């Protein structure tokens, strides 16, 4: 069905970003409301899209009315609708929750920050909706550039972390672009469906596999896949609290989505079958990342760096699921994108609140907020349990489906890696819980948790972790099942 | 949908929430109310189960074709009645204990206690492996704060060790559940097992090992037992109800479910799995008894005694004979009565004298007549003195061993009884015949002595009243008849 909705998903935040930037200097209050309104509108649009996709609709936008392969296409099928829905909803909740934190830590720079945040969301939504390999790159760059700026707006150490992020991130984007160039050389098209048809018809396999290698490497950097995760801990720990909470749950997930899209829609089982080593490499790297990320997190003192390593570990599970490339594993990988977004949003919003209200940045200092922040602590504990994969929280189901996939494809080694990774996750997750609830601290903090909106958002996200777990069967039945490509 | 089933499980969780969110003074009232409601509702299920009906509750779907599903069968109801019944007594004892010891953080204590019982009831009523897993992991989470309760370094270390063991078990069970689902396409418990009958040898061995690790950790079968003595740093009511009855019996209960309701005697009888289980139990009985003999700390000696007796129950399941199952179910309950009495006594002694070691108990019998009378009765019951509850279960276990014409288990059973006499009766002798300490020692507060007298009365009632024994036997025989066929 032709519709403007897929394009509106990124146009609404994009145009609002311009408006926000133009007005921010004069009417700071208005700019704040514009930003929030734009995110709310994006979330509403993405939910409408998800509802239509669940009903079996497939929404496409042809830019200027030009049909592909000549025109540029954006579209919303079950997969992109699912990803768009949780990305937009998470962005809205996180941005809405952190208003006070933003005002205090950014002051004068808030309008510029809001502009960058909207551009980031616009870039991410564009990546999700794009049905064109080159346009995906354009949106990726919009998201990346605004992410660099967001990191750089932090305090001490932020410029350094931002430059590091910029250099490594640009390398990733360049690699991706190089891959797109090779696809164009081999097939003469950039539209995903068109390229898929020509790859299936037997376009030069040497070029297309090389292209795939470049694109995977580029996206692996963007999604922080171990050992290419070096930019992540610094960027998330040094960025402003409100920026880290927005970026950490979303940026890596959308890059993983792009990987799924390219692997299974552009190349498809036929394209992948020509280079079986790709899937094996993804499996092994994912398994290593799953365990290594958890071990790195276990020995990290800084709370936000710890959470970044936890993302490395969780993305490892996603990549493992992608590499296994059967229906169960892919269900797990797609579901786990939403799971990790929600878990990380809970933990980063909680971490932002604790740093903002109590000045706590290290795991060891969490003892100081004991009994002073009951709701925040409870939400963070729920998310931590979910990271370990305790049922019936959402993290369990992501693991379960990938585990099923590993067993179905007859790879007990991968199944063992998933179990070992879960156990390793327990070390860092329960460190947080133990410090929050059972450690004694010499100095008592006079503050209490707050403001109310932030606490409510944290509790809402924590509740969402449980709700997505209990409702995962419905989510899988409505959206994820339909998002699995045919032939997998 | 049976409201009694749902109510019995929901009452403890509702109480936990009310205690956590409510006023400190209300904690005990909520506990009493919930314990009463749970026990009453579980008792209300008894007539239906005796009539051969299995009340069911089917809640939301968790996985395609696997629901959050509860089904009350004779085995489950036996465990539920044990947990709910002893919770009532332990609540009174807890009230006395927190006052006598000046325990802090009482709201957390009572809330986690209630949640643990709720999880134990969930385990009891679980109708499939996944539901079982949800509450099994919940039990780990809910008891973890109770082990860490004192917040000393020793308590935190004990709690960490407990978590490490319990989560490993939970993950093994997760993997086992995933594998089972792949092999059988269902997870619902069926008397006599639901796994496909002709399982490849490797799959059977691997699956059995995973289940055995999963349940063996909580059932403290060696070498997976090391958490249990360490968990004795918890307050005594916790050791009494959870680490002598609810948690460890959940593991034993799981072993019974695995052997009789997942694999089934027919599948297992042709494999080496029962022999391995019997060997592990034999080693545990001997090594655990020797460890108990060497322990001077009273609670740790009792913990090792628990390790030994749990293995005797698992042994009954491994016999794959009708009377083995009946005996296991009876000893599961009867050991609970005797062991909780012993722990109650240990707590009462500690409250009056602050004596933690066996060597300081000499001569206390005359100063604390009620406590040591109860201790004597419970010790004799565990040894297997006729007329007390421990005798009945052991007698039927022995019959099961003879029925299966397995002499090694019979020897283990008798040897375990001798060892039990060796490490418990010297305490009784010293208490009555050694010279009394000089300082005046008095009986513990009535709120602690009352419950221990009550549970020792249960020890006598379940060992001497034919009506009660028959009722208990009837439930167990009904379960055995469902599994092995034939009349109850």
**Residues A116/A150, Cβ–Cβ less than 8 Å:** yes
Structure tokens at B69: 């599903």
Query: Distance between CA A414 and CA A410 in Å, rounded?
Result: 9
Confidence band of A10 (pLDDT split at 50, 70, 90): very high
Query: Distance between CA B237 and CA B250 in Å, rounded?
Result: 17
How many Å lie between the alpha carbon of B236 and the closest alpha carbon of chain A? 19
How many Å lie between the alpha carbon of B150 and the closest alpha carbon of chain A? 9
pLDDT at residue A442 greater than cutoff 70: no
Confidence band of A466 (pLDDT split at 50, 70, 90): very high
Could you check whether the bond before residue A227 is cis, i.e. omega within 30 degrees of 0? yes
Residues in chain A within 8 Å Cβ distance of B206: 412
Which of these ranges, A172-181, A201-210, A222-231, B7-16, has the smallest mean pLDDT? A201-210
- Find tokens 């082990």 and name the residue: B147
Buried b (16+ CB within 10 A) or exposed e, A439-471: beeeeebeeebbeeebbebbbbbbebbbebbbb
Residues in chain A within 8 Å Cβ distance of B172: 419
Query: Distance between CA A391 and CA A414 in Å, rounded?
Result: 21
pLDDT at residue B120 greater than cutoff 80: yes
Question: What average pLDDT does this structure show over A1-29?
Answer: 89
Confidence band of B131 (pLDDT split at 50, 70, 90): very high
Burial class from Cβ neighbours inside 10 Å (0-12, 13-18, 19+) for residue B200 reads exposed
B189-232 tens-digit pLDDT? 999 888 887 777 788 899 999 999 999 999 988 888 899 988 88
Domain annotation covers residue A76: no
Mean of all residue pLDDT scores within chain A: 92
Helix axes of B247-257 and B201-218: crossing angle, nearest 10 degrees: 160
Mutate to test the interface with A, among B175, B179, B200 (most CBs of A within 10 A): B175
Question: What average pLDDT does this structure show over A338-345?
Answer: 96
Q: Does B324 touch chain A (CB under 8 A)?
A: no
- Residue of A397, A419, A474 with shortest CB distance to B171: A419
Q: Where are the beta strands (DSSP E) in B273-420?
A: none
Query: Distance between CA B412 and CA B335 in Å, rounded?
Result: 17
Confidence band of B486 (pLDDT split at 50, 70, 90): low
CB-CB neighbours of B76 under 10 Å: 25
Query: Distance between CA A471 and CA A212 in Å, rounded?
Result: 35
Q: Does B13 touch chain A (CB under 8 A)?
A: no
**Residues B431/B372, Cβ–Cβ less than 8 Å:** yes
* pLDDT score for A36: 94
A54-113 tens-digit pLDDT? 998 899 999 888 888 788 999 999 999 999 999 999 999 999 999 888 888 888 888 889
pLDDT at residue A123 greater than cutoff 90: yes
- Residue of B148, B168, B181 with shortest CB distance to A438: B148
* pLDDT score for B229: 87
Q: What count of CB pairs under 8 Å joins A to B? A: 77
Query: Distance between CA B11 and CA B32 in Å, rounded?
Result: 11
B32-91 tens-digit pLDDT? 999 999 999 999 999 999 998 899 999 888 888 899 999 999 999 999 999 999 999 999
Residues in chain A within 8 Å Cβ distance of B164: 426
Query: Distance between CA B75 and CA B250 in Å, rounded?
Result: 12
Mean of all residue pLDDT scores within chain B: 90
User: Positive or negative CA dihedral for B371, B306, B108, B16?
Assistant: negative
Inter-chain contact B137–A391, Cβ cutoff 8 Å? yes
Confidence band of B7 (pLDDT split at 50, 70, 90): very high
Mutate to test the interface with A, among B60, B61, B178, B213 (most CBs of A within 10 A): B178
Query: Distance between CA A323 and CA A256 in Å, rounded?
Result: 12
Question: What average pLDDT does this structure show over A121-140?
Answer: 96
Q: Name the helix (H) or strand (E) containing B56.
A: strand B56-63
* pLDDT score for A122: 97
> B residues 177-206 near A, CB within 8 Å?
178-179, 181-182, 206
* pLDDT score for B404: 86
Structure tokens at B255: 């072993």
Give me the number of domains chain A comprises.
1
* pLDDT score for B487: 55
> What residue of B is the nearest CA neighbor of A434?
B156
Inter-chain contact B178–A415, Cβ cutoff 8 Å? yes
* pLDDT score for B64: 86
pLDDT at residue A444 greater than cutoff 80: no
Alpha-carbon Rg of chain A, whole angstroms? Answer: 21
Inter-chain contact B64–A385, Cβ cutoff 8 Å? no
Mutate to test the interface with B, among A298, A370, A400, A478 (most CBs of B within 10 A): A400
**Residues A63/A10, Cβ–Cβ less than 8 Å:** no
Distance of CA B453 to the CA centre of its chain: 20
**Farthest CA pair distance, chain B:** 69
Domain segments of chain B as ranges: 1-270, 272-482
Buried b (16+ CB within 10 A) or exposed e, A232-264: bbbbbbbbbbbbbbbbbbbbbbbbbbbbbbbbb
Confidence band of A22 (pLDDT split at 50, 70, 90): confident
Q: Does B65 touch chain A (CB under 8 A)?
A: no
Residue A362 belongs to what domain range?
A: 286-488
**Residues B234/B246, Cβ–Cβ less than 8 Å:** no
Domain annotation covers residue A434: yes
Domain annotation covers residue A410: yes
Distance of CA B273 to the CA centre of its chain: 23
Domain annotation covers residue A470: yes
**Residues A131/A74, Cβ–Cβ less than 8 Å:** yes
Name the DSSP letter for residue B224: S
Distance of CA B391 to the CA centre of its chain: 18
- Find tokens 């019996």 and name the residue: B249
Buried b (16+ CB within 10 A) or exposed e, A337-374: bbbbbbbbbbbbbbbbbbbbbbebbbbebbbbbbebbb
**Percentage of chain B exceeding pLDDT 90:** 64
Name the DSSP letter for residue B445: P
Domain annotation covers residue A131: no
ipTM of the complex: 0.91
> What residue of A is the nearest CA neighbor of B140?
A390
Closest CA to B220 of B260, B247, B238: B247
Question: What average pLDDT does this structure show over B391-406?
Answer: 90
């Amino acid at each position: 069905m032709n519709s403007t909705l897929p394009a509106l998903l990124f146009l609404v935040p994009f145009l609002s970003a311009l408006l926000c930037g133009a007005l921010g200097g004069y009417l700071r209050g208005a700019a704040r409301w514009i930003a929030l309104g734009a995110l709310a509108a994006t979330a509403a649009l993405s939910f409408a899209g998800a509802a239509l996709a669940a009903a079996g609709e497939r929404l496409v936008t042809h830019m200027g009315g030009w049909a592909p392969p000549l025109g540029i296409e954006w579209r919303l099928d079950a997969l992109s609708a699912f990803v768009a829905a949780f990305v937009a909803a998470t962005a809205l909740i996180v941005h809405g929750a952190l208003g006070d934190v933003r005002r205090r830590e950014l002051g004068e720079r808030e309008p510029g920050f809001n502009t960058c945040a909207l551009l980031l969301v616009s870039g991410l939504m564009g990546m999700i909706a794009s049905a064109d390999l080159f346009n995906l790159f354009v949106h990726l760059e919009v998201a990346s550039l605004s992410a660099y700026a967001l990191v750089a707006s932090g305090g001490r150490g932020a410029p350094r972390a931002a430059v590091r992020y910029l250099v490594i991130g640009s390398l990733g984007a360049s690699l991706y672009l190089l891959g797109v160039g090779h696809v164009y050389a081999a097939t003469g098209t950039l539209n995903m469906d068109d390229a898929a048809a020509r790859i299936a018809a037997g376009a030069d396999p040497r070029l297309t596999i090389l292209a795939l290698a470049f694109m995977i490497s580029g996206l692996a950097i963007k999604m922080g896949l171990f050992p290419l995760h070096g930019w992540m801990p610094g960027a998330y720990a040094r960025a402003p609290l409100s920026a880290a909470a927005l970026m950490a749950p979303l940026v890596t997930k959308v890059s993983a989505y792009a990987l799924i899209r390219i692997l299974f829609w552009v190349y498809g089982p036929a394209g992948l079958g020509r280079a079986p080593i790709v899937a094996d490499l993804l499996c092994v790297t994912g398994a290593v990342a799953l365990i290594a990320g958890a071990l790195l997190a276990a020995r990290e003192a800084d709370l936000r760096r710890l959470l970044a390593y936890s993302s490395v570990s969780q993305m490892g599970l996603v990549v493992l699921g992608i590499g296994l490339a059967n229906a169960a594993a892919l269900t797990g990988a797609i579901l786990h994108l939403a799971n990790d977004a929600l878990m990380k949003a809970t933990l980063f919003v909680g971490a932002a609140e604790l740093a903002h209200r109590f000045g706590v940045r290290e795991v060891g200092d969490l003892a100081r907020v004991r009994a002073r922040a009951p709701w925040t602590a409870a939400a963070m504990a729920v998310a931590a349990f979910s990271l370990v994969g305790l049922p019936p929280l959402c993290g369990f189901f992501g693991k379960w489906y990938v585990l099923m996939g590993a067993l179905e494809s007859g790879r007990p080694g991968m199944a063992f890696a998933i179990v070992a990774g879960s156990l390793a996750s327990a070390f860092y997750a329960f460190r947080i819980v133990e410090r929050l609830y059972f450690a004694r601290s010499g100095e008592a903090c006079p503050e209490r948790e707050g403001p109310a909106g932030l606490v409510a958002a944290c509790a809402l996200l924590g509740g969402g972790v449980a709700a997505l777990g209990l409702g995962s069967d419905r989510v899988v039945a409505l959206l994820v099942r339909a998002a699995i490509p045919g032939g997998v | 949908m049976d409201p009694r089933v749902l109510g019995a499980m929901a009452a403890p969780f509702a109480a936990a929430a009310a205690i956590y969110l409510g006023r400190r003074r209300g904690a005990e009232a909520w506990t009493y109310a919930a314990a009463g409601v749970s026990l009453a509702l579980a008792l209300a299920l008894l007539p239906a189960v005796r009539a051969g009906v299995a009340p069911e509750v089917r809640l939301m779907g968790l996985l395609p074709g696997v629901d959050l599903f509860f089904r009350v069968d004779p085995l489950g109801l036996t465990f539920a009645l044990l947990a709910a019944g002893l919770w009532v007594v332990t609540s009174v004892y807890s009230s006395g204990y927190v006052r006598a010891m000046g325990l802090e953080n009482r709201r957390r204590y009572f809330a986690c206690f209630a949640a643990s019982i709720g999880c134990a009831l969930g385990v009891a009523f679980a109708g499939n492996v996944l539901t079982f897993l949800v509450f099994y992991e919940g039990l780990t989470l809910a008891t973890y704060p109770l082990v860490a309760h004192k917040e000393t370094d020793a308590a935190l270390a004990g709690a960490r060790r407990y978590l490490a063991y319990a989560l490993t078990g939970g993950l093994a069970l997760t993997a086992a559940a995933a594998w089972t689902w792949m092999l059988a396409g269902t997870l619902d418990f069926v008397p006599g097992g639901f796994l496909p009958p002709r399982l490849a040898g490797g799959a059977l061995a691997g699956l059995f090992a995973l289940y055995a690790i999963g349940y063996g950790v909580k059932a403290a079968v060696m070498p997976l037992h090391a958490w249990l003595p360490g968990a004795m740093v918890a307050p005594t009511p916790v050791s009494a109800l959870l680490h002598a009855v609810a948690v460890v019996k959940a593991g034993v209960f799981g072993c019974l479910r695995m052997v009789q309701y997942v694999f089934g005697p027919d599948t297992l009888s042709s494999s080496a799995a029962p022999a391995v289980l019997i060997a592990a139990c034999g080693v545990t009985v001997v090594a655990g008894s020797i460890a108990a003999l060497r322990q001077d700390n009273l609670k740790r000696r009792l913990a090792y005694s628990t390790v030994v007796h749990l293995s005797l129950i698992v042994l009954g399941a491994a016999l794959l004979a009708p009377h083995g199952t009946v005996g296991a179910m009876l000893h599961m309950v009867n050991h609970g009565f005797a062991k909780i009495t012993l722990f109650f006594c240990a707590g009462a002694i500690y409250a009056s004298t602050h004596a933690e070691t066996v060597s300081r108990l000499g001569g206390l019998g005359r100063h604390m007549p009620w406590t040591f009378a109860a201790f004597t009765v419970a010790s004799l019951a565990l040894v297997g003195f006729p007329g007390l509850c421990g005798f009945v279960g052991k007698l039927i276990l022995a019959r099961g061993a003879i029925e299966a014409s397995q002499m090694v288990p019979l020897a283990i059973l008798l040897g375990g009884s001798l060892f039990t006499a060796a490490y418990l009766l010297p305490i009784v002798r010293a208490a009555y015949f050694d010279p009394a300490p000089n300082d005046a020692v008095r009986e513990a507060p009535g709120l602690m002595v009352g419950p221990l007298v009550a549970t020792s009365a249960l020890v006598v009632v379940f060992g001497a009243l034919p009506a009660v024994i028959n009722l208990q036997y009837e439930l167990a025989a009904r379960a055995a008849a469902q599994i092995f066929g034939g009349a109850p």
